């Protein structure tokens, strides 16, 4: 539907608004759109969820399997993330092999979770050197209205928070199609969530809509969690061609600190209930 | 119950019989199957003096002669401009169809890449749509912002004989121009006014199918702390962009 | 003739009873048309984008737009995870779905364009291709695409000697007694009642098949009711998706 070229006047108006501290949809510069979470969208998954931020929506699911561990991590399970920017979600997504945008998104979400130590990979070991759990986190974009990065990040956390291990039958050496009562082992205090910033003109905004994304100079995604009682960064990704000045960097870090304390309890509630 | 001239409307799905009888003429969005006139589109049926149509309620915009559309210049040729308006193909504005004489070297100066325009659809061909900017009230638009509401919400935003647009203008003092292609240009006296206008328009879009929409919008306007006035005020660009073919709709 | 081993359905449904059906349109705001169709725990989402310009140019048809269907299952939709990406099964289903919908769609007004239909299955419990077709027909209508009629689909089957309507996963993949399970997905056009999708996997006598077609036709009337109600906005508002 009418997702056509953006006229100059639109770009100019967005910047004018930002210079007055407002977004074109009336939000404040550091305000998220409404978040709606629906759990259990697939009963065949170990857990599944739909996450909406404004009109942007993604589905995510966790599936698990048992495999031999990698030789350099004999007592650790494995974890893999895929993101599909399905063409159903936007006129600008193509069919076929995942493009660089999907690959980047998947890798950024993956790193944020992996590096924070949120999943306790050691506890995913069934028998050292022989059998470990393999966690598959699959995310599919349903509708793109900007900020798929944070929608995917949040969906990943919520779906992992809900996931239970399937029953593993030792004798038959098979995974059964039923869930145990054991949750996928997580280090809850290691929870780290994503905030993506965009620079437009002189302003820095959070949770960009697709209009805002289209005209920004650069974006910076920051995964942040708690470490020693303070905000601790577990992943960074800058995208697009613009360059970050020292001043910008200071402003962004301040925004991270300011928003971290108000957002952390909300995110914790979404993930752990 | 209305008889004679206009019969009641119903929502129909493809394949559904709108009306039966050989005296009826299958018009746009319908076809004849034996005795029946059948819907060929999802939409609202409309029977006027035995002439049957189905007006779509959703989906992409198909340009029709006489429509007012809002678009963006995306290319400049030796004799005109190409305009993207959200359709599958672009519209063409020939250099002869602008209000003043432009010579070949001045095209870009007059209308540059990325500029937004309000134009009238002149002719629709399989290879594209021809438009014109010659008449009063059409031309380049500057400032303000454009909101995509989708072509099917346009009648609700205009209202019967422009009543809804007047209501919004009266409350916010904002200039509004509605394109049949589902793009609405608004220009507020200040940022607050423009944000409020946008909120009202989004409210209409969300509630487009509700019965008694006008009252709900009036309530919403009051909730926003504004006044409900009849008879809008507009600036120099305040032109009634009501298309002859598809007038605004009142409540069901 | 000996009695059938499948005397009672595992789900407790009657032989001609479809699973609880639910449908909704407009679920993907940025699309031209979209819909979900649910039959029991099989859920399908369909999204239509178009008519839009078709690239590369040599694929364009100057006389009419083309319909292009892409069907896929989400990795977490089934018990054994499906690797993302097309498979031979999804390509086949895409094609037969395209053929089914082409029976009714009229794109002569949109030369050189493409109408893309995307079908995705977030949760599967057999009958995914017919749920996909049901969602796709609604999404096409919702997108304002000219269609002479609607299309409604259902899976009919034979379990040993019993004919049943709308097989679930147990009936489709697990039942092996006697003559086993035969699955017959079919789709009918809403007005002229022509068959626009027909596949069979198993074995069946000619008399049994005639009965199957009758049962399928009846069941599809129920499907059409649900599709029409969703388009007309009746009854589905209470169960809108999403909770905080």
A7 vs B: CB within 8 A: yes
A21 vs B: CB within 8 A: no
Mean predicted confidence (pLDDT) in C11-19? 95
In the three-class reduction of DSSP (H, G, I as helix; E, B as strand; rest coil), residue A32 is classed as coil
Mean predicted confidence (pLDDT) in A92-111? 87
**What pLDDT score does A224 carry?**
94
**What pLDDT score does B8 carry?**
63
Instruction: Return the structure tokens found at B239.
Output: 């032109």
Helix (H) or strand (E) holding B108: helix B107-110
Interface test with A, best of C42, C45, C49, C74 (most A CBs within 10 A): C74
**What pLDDT score does B239 carry?**
36
| Nearest-CB residue to B40 (from C143, C148, C190) | C148
Q: What angle do the packed helices B191-206 and B163-172 form, to 10 degrees?
A: 150
Condensed to tens digits (0 to 9), the pLDDT of residues B44-102 reads 899 999 999 998 888 788 888 999 999 999 999 999 999 999 887 889 999 999 999 99
Q: Is the pLDDT of residue A168 over 60?
A: yes
As a whole-number percent, the residues of chain A with pLDDT over 90 amount to 84
On chain C, the residues whose CB falls within 8 A of the CB of B57 are 144
Count of CB atoms within 10 A of residue A139's CB?
Answer: 30
Q: Do C76 and A42 touch (CB under 8 A)?
A: yes
B28 vs C: CB within 8 A: no
Alpha-carbon distances, residue A58 vs A93, A138, A264, B74, C120 (angstroms): 14, 10, 21, 32, 13
On chain A, the residues whose CB falls within 8 A of the CB of B144 are 9, 13
Sheet containing C21-25: order of strands: C21-25, C33-39, C42-53, C113-123, C66-73
Condensed to tens digits (0 to 9), the pLDDT of residues B9-52 reads 789 999 999 999 999 999 999 999 999 999 999 998 999 999 99
Q: What are phi and psi of B165, to 5 degrees?
A: -60, -40
**What pLDDT score does C56 carry?**
85
**What pLDDT score does B143 carry?**
94
Q: Which residues contact B215 (CB under 8 A, 6 or more apart)?
A: none
Measured distance CA(A205)–CA(A198) in Å, rounded: 5
**What pLDDT score does B128 carry?**
82
Query: Looking up tokens 């097309």, which residue turns up?
Result: C86
What distance in Å separates residue A2's CA from the closest CA in chain B?
A: 4
Instruction: Return the structure tokens found at B251.
Output: 């409540």
- Cis ω before B247 (30° cut-off from 0): no
Mean predicted confidence (pLDDT) in B235-246? 36
**What pLDDT score does B242 carry?**
37
Query: Looking up tokens 């040729």, which residue turns up?
Result: B77
In the three-class reduction of DSSP (H, G, I as helix; E, B as strand; rest coil), residue A166 is classed as strand
The model's confidence at residue C242, banded by pLDDT at 50, 70 and 90, is very low
Measured distance CA(C168)–CA(A120) in Å, rounded: 37
Measured distance CA(B14)–CA(C142) in Å, rounded: 10
Please give the residue that has the higher pLDDT: either A152 or B58. Answer: A152
Q: Do B41 and C144 touch (CB under 8 A)?
A: yes
Measured distance CA(C137)–CA(C147) in Å, rounded: 9
Please, what is the Cα angle at B249 between B132 and B16, to 5 degrees?
100
Measured distance CA(C116)–CA(C145) in Å, rounded: 11
On chain C, the residues whose CB falls within 8 A of the CB of B56 are 144
Measured distance CA(A22)–CA(B196) in Å, rounded: 13
Q: Is the pLDDT of residue A94 over 90?
A: no
On chain A, the residues whose CB falls within 8 A of the CB of C33 are none
What distance in Å separates residue C62's CA from the closest CA in chain A?
A: 22
C74 vs A: CB within 8 A: yes
Q: Do B148 and A1 touch (CB under 8 A)?
A: yes
Q: Do C122 and A41 touch (CB under 8 A)?
A: yes
The superfamily CATH assigns to domain C21-231 is: GHMP Kinase, N-terminal domain (3.30.230.70)
CA A138, A143, A148, A151 torsion-angle sign: negative
Domain A34-272 fold is Ribosomal Protein S5; domain 2 (3.30.230)
Measured distance CA(B117)–CA(B70) in Å, rounded: 6
**Spans of all domains in chain C:** 21-231
**Buried b vs exposed e over C50-85: b needs ≥16 C-beta within 10 Å?**
bbbebeeeeebeeeebbbbbbbbbbbbbbbebbebe
Please write down the HEC assignment for all residues of C15-33.
CCCCCCEEEEECCCCCCCE
Which runs of consecutive H residues, i.e. helices, occur in chain C? Answer: 88-102, 128-142, 169, 206-231
B60 vs C: CB within 8 A: yes
Mean predicted confidence (pLDDT) in C204-232? 96
Q: Is the pLDDT of residue A227 over 60?
A: yes
B128: left (phi > 0), else alpha (psi -120 to 50), else beta? Answer: left
As a whole-number percent, the residues of chain C with pLDDT over 90 amount to 80
Helix, strand, coil percent content, chain C, rounded in steps of 5: 30, 30, 45
What distance in Å separates residue B147's CA from the closest CA in chain C?
A: 14
**Spans of all domains in chain A:** 34-272
Instruction: Tell me the whole-structure pTM to 2 decimals.
Output: 0.91
**What pLDDT score does B230 carry?**
60
Measured distance CA(C240)–CA(A52) in Å, rounded: 14
Q: Is the pLDDT of residue A209 over 80?
A: yes
Q: Do C233 and B209 touch (CB under 8 A)?
A: yes
Condensed to tens digits (0 to 9), the pLDDT of residues B144-192 reads 999 999 888 898 999 888 899 999 999 999 999 999 999 999 999 899 9
Count of CB atoms within 10 A of residue A73's CB?
Answer: 13
What distance in Å separates residue B147's CA from the closest CA in chain A?
A: 9
Condensed to tens digits (0 to 9), the pLDDT of residues C93-144 reads 999 999 999 999 999 988 889 999 999 999 999 999 999 999 999 999 999 9
Count of CB atoms within 10 A of residue C201's CB?
Answer: 11
Closest CA to B60 of A213, A200, C144: C144
What domains can be seen in chain B, in order of their start residue? Answer: 6-56 (2.40.50.100), 68-141 (2.40.50.140), 145-223 (3.30.1370.10)
Chain A (54-113) residues lying within 8 Å, Cβ to Cβ, of chain C: 55, 57, 59-63, 65, 82, 84, 86-91, 95, 97-98
Q: Do C75 and A142 touch (CB under 8 A)?
A: no
Q: Strand pairing partners for A230?
A: A227
Q: Do A143 and C29 touch (CB under 8 A)?
A: yes
**What pLDDT score does B243 carry?**
36
What distance in Å separates residue A249's CA from the closest CA in chain C?
A: 34
Instruction: Return the structure tokens found at C2.
Output: 């000996």
Q: Is the pLDDT of residue A52 over 50?
A: yes
* CA C93 to chain CA mean position, Å: 10
Q: What angle do the packed helices A148-162 and A246-272 form, to 10 degrees?
A: 30
**What pLDDT score does B240 carry?**
39
- Pick the residue from chain C with its C-alpha nearest to B37: C148
Predicted complex ipTM: 0.91
Q: Do A2 and B195 touch (CB under 8 A)?
A: no
The model's confidence at residue A4, banded by pLDDT at 50, 70 and 90, is low
Q: Do A48 and A139 meet the contact criterion of CB atoms below 8 Å apart? A: no
Q: Is the pLDDT of residue C2 over 90?
A: no
Mean predicted confidence (pLDDT) in A123-135? 93
């Amino acid at each position: 539907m009418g997702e056509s070229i953006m006229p100059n006047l639109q770009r100019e108006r967005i910047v004018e608004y930002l210079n007055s501290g407002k977004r074109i949809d009336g939000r404040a510069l550091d305000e998220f759109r409404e978040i709606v979470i629906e759990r259990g969208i697939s009963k065949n998954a170990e857990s599944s969820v739909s996450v909406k931020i404004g009109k942007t929506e993604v589905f995510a699911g966790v599936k698990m399997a048992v495999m031999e561990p990698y030789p350099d991590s004999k007592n650790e399970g494995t974890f893999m993330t895929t993101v599909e920017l399905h063409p159903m979600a936007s006129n600008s997504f193509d069919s076929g092999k995942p493009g660089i945008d999907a690959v980047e998104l998947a890798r950024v979400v993956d790193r944020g979770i992996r590096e924070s130590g949120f999943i306790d990979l050691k506890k995913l070991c069934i028998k050292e050197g022989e059998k470990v759990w393999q966690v598959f986190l699959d995310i599919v974009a349903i509708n793109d209205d900007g900020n798929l990065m944070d929608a995917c990040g949040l969906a990943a956390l919520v779906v992992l928070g809900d996931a239970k291990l399937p029953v593993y039958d030792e004798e038959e050496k098979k995974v059964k199609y039923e869930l145990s009562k054991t949750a996928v082992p997580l280090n809850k205090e290691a929870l780290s969530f994503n905030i993506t910033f965009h620079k437009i003109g002189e302003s820095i905004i959070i949770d960009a809509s697709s209009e805002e994304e289209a005209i920004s100079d650069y974006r910076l995604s920051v995964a942040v969690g708690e470490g020693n009682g303070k905000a601790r960064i577990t992943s960074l990704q800058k995208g697009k061609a613009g360059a970050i000045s020292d001043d910008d960097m200071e402003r962004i870090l301040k925004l991270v600190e300011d928003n971290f304390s108000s957002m952390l309890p909300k995110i914790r509630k979404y993930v752990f209930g | 119950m209305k008889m004679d001239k206009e019969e009641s409307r119903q929502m129909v799905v493809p394949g559904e019989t709108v009306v039966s009888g050989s005296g009826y003429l299958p018009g746009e969005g319908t076809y004849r199957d034996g005795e029946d006139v059948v819907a060929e589109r999802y939409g609202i049926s409309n029977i006027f003096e035995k002439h049957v149509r189905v007006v779509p309620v959703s989906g992409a915009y198909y340009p029709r002669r006489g429509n007012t559309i809002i678009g963006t210049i995306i290319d400049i040729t030796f004799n005109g401009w190409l305009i993207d308006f959200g359709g599958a193909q672009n519209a063409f504005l020939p250099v002869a169809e602008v209000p003043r004489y432009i010579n070949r070297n001045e095209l870009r100066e007059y209308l540059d890449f990325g500029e937004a325009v309000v134009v009238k659809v002149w002719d629709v061909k399989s290879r594209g749509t021809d438009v014109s900017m010659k008449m009063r009230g059409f031309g380049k638009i500057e400032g303000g912002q454009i909101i995509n509401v989708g072509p099917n919400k346009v009648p609700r935003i205009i209202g019967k004989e422009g009543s809804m647009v007047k209501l919004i203008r009266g409350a916010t003092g904002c200039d509004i121009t509605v394109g049949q292609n589902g793009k609405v240009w608004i220009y507020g006296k200040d940022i607050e006014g423009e944000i409020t206008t946008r909120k009202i328009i989004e409210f209409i879009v969300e509630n487009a199918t509700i019965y008694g929409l006008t009252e709900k919008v009036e309530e919403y306007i009051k909730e926003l702390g504004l006044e409900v006035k009849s008879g809008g005020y507009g600036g120099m660009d305040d032109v009634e962009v009501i298309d002859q073919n598809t007038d605004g709709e009142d409540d069901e | 003739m000996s009695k059938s081993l499948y005397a009672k359905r595992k789900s407790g449904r009657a032989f001609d009873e479809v699973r609880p059906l639910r449908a909704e349109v407009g679920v993907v705001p940025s699309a031209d048309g979209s819909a979900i169709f649910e039959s029991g725990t099989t859920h399908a989402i369909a999204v239509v984008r178009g008519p839009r310009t078709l690239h590369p140019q040599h694929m364009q048809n100057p006389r009419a737009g083309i319909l292009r269907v892409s069907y896929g299952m989400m990795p977490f939709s089934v018990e054994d995870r499906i690797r993302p990406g097309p498979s031979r099964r999804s390509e086949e289903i895409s094609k037969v779905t395209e053929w089914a919908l082409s029976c009714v769609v009229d794109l002569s007004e949109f030369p050189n364009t493409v109408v893309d239909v995307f079908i995705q299955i977030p949760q599967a419990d057999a009958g995914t291709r017919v749920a996909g077709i049901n969602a796709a027909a609604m999404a096409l209508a919702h997108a304002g695409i000219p269609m002479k009629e609607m299309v409604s689909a259902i899976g009919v089957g034979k379990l040993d000697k019993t004919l049943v309507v709308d097989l679930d996963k147990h009936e489709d993949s697990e039942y092996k007694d006697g003559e086993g399970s035969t699955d017959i997905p079919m789709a009918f056009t809403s007005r002229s009642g022509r068959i626009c999708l027909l596949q069979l996997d198993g074995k069946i006598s000619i008399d049994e098949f005639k009965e199957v077609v009758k049962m399928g036709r009846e069941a599809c009337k129920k499907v059409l009711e649900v599709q029409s109600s969703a388009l007309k906005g009746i009854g589905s508002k209470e169960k809108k998706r999403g909770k905080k």
